[in-house]
Amino acid sequence: MSEIISRDIPYKLYTSQQVKVGEKELTEKKGFEMYTLMKRAGQAVYALIQLQYPSADRILVFCGNGNNGGDAFVVATLAKLDGRNVSLVFNGQKERLSEDGLRAYQEWIDAGGDITEISEEDIVSSFDLIVDGLLGTGISGKVRPQLQNLISKINHLSIPIVSIDVPSGLCSDTGGKLGEVIKSDHTVSFIGVKRGLLTGYARNYVGELFFAGLGIEDEFQRCYPTNVSVLSKTELLNCLPKRESIAHKGTNGRLLCLGGNSGYSGAINLCSRAAARTGTGLIKVLCHKDSSVSLQVSCPEVMTQSWCGDNRELRDALLFADVVALGPGMGRDQWAKQLYMRISDVDKPKVLDADALYFLSLAPNKDPYRILTPHPGEAAMLLGLTVKEIEQDRFSAVHDLHEKYGGVIVLKGAGTLIYDGHFIFICNAGSPAMASGGMGDILTGIVSSLLAQGQSLIEAAKTGVLLHSVAADQIAEREGPVGLLAGDVIQEVRQVMNLWLSESSL
């Protein structure tokens, strides 16, 4: 692979404005033109084309008015000079090009290129590859209707697409859609990876993400701090719970799992089994009386007790526990409400999921000693928004959840976000293979287990989310993405956990 592009994505993530300011200041400091970066960006995209599409002879390049369009002019020129047949559609106005964009435009013309008008039928019959340079990271507001129509037509073609910096129509800061969005096969991000490319709707449109630092990435990351980063296994290895030679079940954490209403024993079963496989020493489940027998049979390693509203039983269970997991299979009836009300103010570290989040939404309160793990629907309920509003800007959603409820927030979904009030972490693992019932229940068990074994709230959330996703990814890679069950992931979690522990001791 060319040295100027890489599949390895830097851990630090940025907004488009941070990159815009940084690249300008660094070019001034280093004494070269911004046009140098435009040339390098075009070279990086063309290096990707050479790598991924070496036999693509007929290339159609779409250019817009911004610097993104200038990069596209550079790509077109390089491809033409390399002997490929290039057609260029300029969806802009020459007089609106920046000085650097105008230079790139002129180099295209000087290389013998021209501006073409082309119909959808011509695209279908004539091209091997499309380069998307229509809209860049600077777009604000909705995409114009005429351009949305063009993007829609492009997406309906069976032609591979490479996007420059961001698929046109996608907000690189939030991962939200600004209308129709180019559905790319590959995207190249420059200097600092834009945070919105890794979460939410972006997962549908970015395709395979490549990075090109354009020669200033190291200094950029040193000089410009950010509070958003990708979850790193290397970082997490240092905080995994270690077992001493004299460890026993009482020293490996005591977890109380609350839930399992009548007809919903499966969720608390998955939660407790996942906690056991993650290494918790002792686990007790308090559940509805109708669920206790099935739970005792399915997981004899877990202590199971039915709860019928007795305060003393609940008090004794809480005295046993280091950590409380509340919500899996809890339901929303009177039994569940009683259970939630008696636990919500308990002074123990807690992990809340599922129906516990429903009851929290009815009586919001802040608690710095808990982890909330909502999926987008639950996040919408907690904030009084729609799922679409949550997914349109997941960064704002996770911030608002923390402001309203405190603690550590785990906003599940494509590109799970974790926020503790200071830093946001994005999980770049996981896949649609995980879209099946019970996955959230085992995540609650994993995170609760790590918390019970001594990790901090943020360490448990980060480690648990990545462990969960990596385990699922490994199974999907071996066996395929369809039909993956939450129960399948539990045994794999144990294997990944032990592998990480062995790596941490090297």
In order along its 506 residues, the chain shows pLDDT tens digits of 456 899 999 999 999 999 999 999 999 998 889 999 999 999 999 999 999 999 999 999 999 988 899 999 999 999 999 999 999 999 888 888 889 999 999 999 999 999 987 665 566 668 999 999 999 877 778 999 989 999 999 999 889 999 999 999 999 999 999 999 999 999 999 999 999 999 999 999 999 999 999 999 999 999 999 999 999 999 999 999 988 877 888 889 999 999 999 999 999 999 999 999 999 999 999 999 999 999 988 889 999 999 999 899 999 999 999 999 999 999 999 999 999 999 998 999 999 999 999 999 999 999 999 999 999 999 999 999 999 999 999 999 999 999 999 999 999 999 999 999 999 999 999 999 999 999 999 999 999 999 999 999 999 999 999 999 999 999 999 999 999 999 999 999 999 999 999 998 76
Residue 136 marked ligand-binding: yes
Residue 438 marked ligand-binding: no
Two tokens at 71?
A: 């990069």
DSSP 455-473: --HHHHHHHHHHHHHHHHH
Which residues pair with residue 424 across a beta bridge?
228, 419
Residue 137 marked ligand-binding: yes
pLDDT at 125 (0 to 100): 63
pTM, rounded to two decimals = 0.95
Alpha-carbon gap, residue 323 to 464, rounded angstroms: 15
User: Residue 142 carries which DSSP code?
Assistant: P
Residue 375 marked ligand-binding: yes
| Residues 280-313 as b or e (16 or more Cβ within 10 Å = b) | bbbbbbbbbeebbeebbeebeebbbbbbeeeeee
Residue 388 marked ligand-binding: no
Residue 67 marked ligand-binding: yes
Domain 12-226 has CATH 3.40.50.300: no
Residue 138 marked ligand-binding: yes
Residue 142 marked ligand-binding: yes
Residue 331 marked ligand-binding: no
Residue 353 marked ligand-binding: no
Alpha-carbon distances, residue 169 vs 141, 143, 165, 210 (angstroms): 10, 6, 12, 19
pLDDT at 1 (0 to 100): 41
Residue 111 marked ligand-binding: no
Contact call for residues 131 and 76 (beta carbons, < 8 A): yes
Residue 322 marked ligand-binding: no
What are the residue ranges spanned by the domains of the chain?
Answer: 12-226, 233-504
Name the percent of the chain in helix, strand, coil, to the closest 5.
Answer: 45, 15, 35
Residue 153 marked ligand-binding: no
Residue 100 marked ligand-binding: no
Q: How do strand 417-419 and strand 408-411 relate by DSSP bridges?
A: antiparallel
Q: How do strand 208-212 and strand 228-230 relate by DSSP bridges?
A: unpaired
Contact call for residues 489 and 273 (beta carbons, < 8 A): no
| E runs forming strands in 225-294 | 228-230, 254-258, 282-287
Burial (CB < 10 A; 0-12, 13-18, 19+), residue 334, is exposed
Residue 69 marked ligand-binding: yes
Residue 71 marked ligand-binding: yes
Residue 76 marked ligand-binding: no
Residue 367 marked ligand-binding: no
The amino acid that residue 54 corresponds to is P
Contact call for residues 407 and 456 (beta carbons, < 8 A): no
Residue 199 marked ligand-binding: no
Residue 202 marked ligand-binding: no
CATH number of 233-504: 3.40.1190.20
CA 140 to chain CA centroid, nearest Å: 22
Residue 279 marked ligand-binding: no
> Which residues are CB-neighbours of 273 under 8 A, at least 6 positions away?
299, 302, 442, 445, 487, 490
Alpha-carbon gap, residue 477 to 481, rounded angstroms: 7
Residue 126 marked ligand-binding: no
Residue 390 marked ligand-binding: no
Residue 215 marked ligand-binding: no
Residue 480 marked ligand-binding: no
